[in-house]
Structure 1
Amino acid sequence: MASTTSTVESSDLDVSQFRHTPFYCEENVYFLCKKLCTNRMGDAREADLFVVFISNEKKQRKKEGEFPFLVWDLDSTLPLPLPLGSYVSQAIRPSFQISPEFQRLFRIIHAPILFRHFASDRRHMKDSNGNWMAKPPDYEAIVAEDGTIHNLNEYMEIKAADVYPNNNIDVRDAIFFRKLGVVTNDLGEFFSQIL
């Protein structure tokens, strides 16, 4: 997962400035967005703060553009924040050919929608015996404003059939009002449509 903003000057920030628990990327990004808003480095009320879930139908991985968006990825070794074009070319590497079942898909959610609806009780981090697979964060799990305690699976379930059409449909309307945001297979193209 990564967070994308459009209002901050790019500079090398240290990941230690942000709440970060290894293996809990969805919570790391949730609190990263909250901190960016608190520090006025992003404005969730405006159109400049988004969360991107990166996955594929198998939920597996195989081992500089001129966009005004900046990417904050606490799990990469790249500088923070990084211009979207640089991030795509260095982290996503679209020119690197991978087989279709591992093709990356991106679920993009406007931060205020995520703050309202996202919840994770961390059940996905326990094995079949109920033991933690990685030490959990020392703060309370995220509960949605409506009281939902876990819906991470809804955000992570990303299928090629869910890719939002790049035609006459208003993508801006979809990204700013849908609980689960929009799924795309081209991050750069998507953000060029919402400028």
Structure 2
Amino acid sequence: MEQLISDVSHFHHTPYYCEENVYLLCKKLCTDGIANAEGSDIFVVFISNEKKQIPLWNQKASHRADGVILWDYHVICIQINQGGGPPQVWDLDSSLPFPSPLPSYISETIRPSFKLFSDFNRLFRVVHAPIFLRCFASDRRHMKDSDGNWMQEPPQHEPIVAEGNDLN
């Protein structure tokens, strides 16, 4: 199981679709026995702000040596370690170890000691994974430009539909 946990390639990833990636990640963590079957030990964290400009470091999509990128928002998964160790951060877009201990992820990705202009202050919304898995639905409209063209290619799978909202 250790091999699976440390190999990000075992998890579905479509660049720029972090919320769908995290949904599928949470599902896989639960079904593979890495997390509790119902997901009670994992949390989904949305990071954004009113300006939709949040800097995060050590991101694969960055073109800079320090890995910093300005996202409109980002979504990660945090797993509480039942064994007493630090919580683990699952970030498919990070160049840090996968998963990363929460304290090092915060210091190397969030960088709270780095002085930011107020426009870049980040807000965090934490959702318990069982609620997220039951209620999340994809909305890909924000990934299209004003002419209806994709700014980034969408995942090949159909958009995710919340439980009880099946359109079929």
Q: Name the TM tier (shorter chain).
A: 0.7 to 0.9
> Does structure 2 conserve the Cα–Cα contact (< 8 Å) formed by 1:44 and 1:111?
no
Q: Which has the higher strand share?
A: 2
| Residues in 2 aligned to 1:46 and 1:13: alpha-carbon distance in whole angstroms | 19
1:156-191 C-alpha deviation (Å, 9 max, x unpaired): xxxxxxxxxxxxxxxxxxxxxxxxxxxxxxxxxxxx
Distance apart, 1:16 and its partner CA? 1.2
Q: Which moved more, 1:132-141 or 1:44-53?
A: 44-53
Q: Aligned in 2, Cα 1:44/1:109: closer, same or farther, shift over 3 Å?
A: farther
Equivalent residue, structure 2, for 1:120: 138
- Confirm or deny that 1:13 pairs with 2:6: yes
| Residues in 2 aligned to 1:12 and 1:79: alpha-carbon distance in whole angstroms | 10
Equivalent residue, structure 2, for 1:172: none
Give the match's secondary structure for 1:75: coil
Question: Which TM-score applies when normalising by structure 2?
Answer: 0.75
Matched to 1:17, the amino acid is H
Aligned sequence identity (%): 62
**Deviating runs (4+, > 6 A) in structure 1?**
8-12
Matched to 1:31, the amino acid is L
Q: Aligned in 2, Cα 1:81/1:148: closer, same or farther, shift over 3 Å?
A: same
> Does structure 2 conserve the Cα–Cα contact (< 8 Å) formed by 1:13 and 1:79?
yes
Give the match's secondary structure for 1:85: helix
- For these two proteins, the number of residue pairs brought into alignment is 140
- Confirm or deny that 1:132 pairs with 2:150: yes
* Pairing 1:8-157 to 2, within 5 Å after superposition: 13-43=6-36, 45=38, 47-62=40-55, 68-147=86-165
| Residues in 2 aligned to 1:32 and 1:69: alpha-carbon distance in whole angstroms | 16
Matched to 2:147, the amino acid is N
Q: Which has the higher helix share?
A: 1
Gaps of 5+ in 1: 1-7, 150-195
Give the match's secondary structure for 2:164: coil
Give the match's secondary structure for 2:23: helix
Matched to 1:16, the amino acid is S
Distance apart, 1:61 and its partner CA? 2.7
Q: Aligned in 2, Cα 1:44/1:124: closer, same or farther, shift over 3 Å?
A: farther
Equivalent residue, structure 2, for 1:156: none
> Does structure 2 conserve the Cα–Cα contact (< 8 Å) formed by 1:21 and 1:137?
yes
| Residues in 2 aligned to 1:46 and 1:145: alpha-carbon distance in whole angstroms | 16
Give the match's secondary structure for 1:27: helix
Matched to 2:162, the amino acid is A
Q: Aligned in 2, Cα 1:148/1:52: closer, same or farther, shift over 3 Å?
A: farther
Q: Aligned in 2, Cα 1:94/1:122: closer, same or farther, shift over 3 Å?
A: same
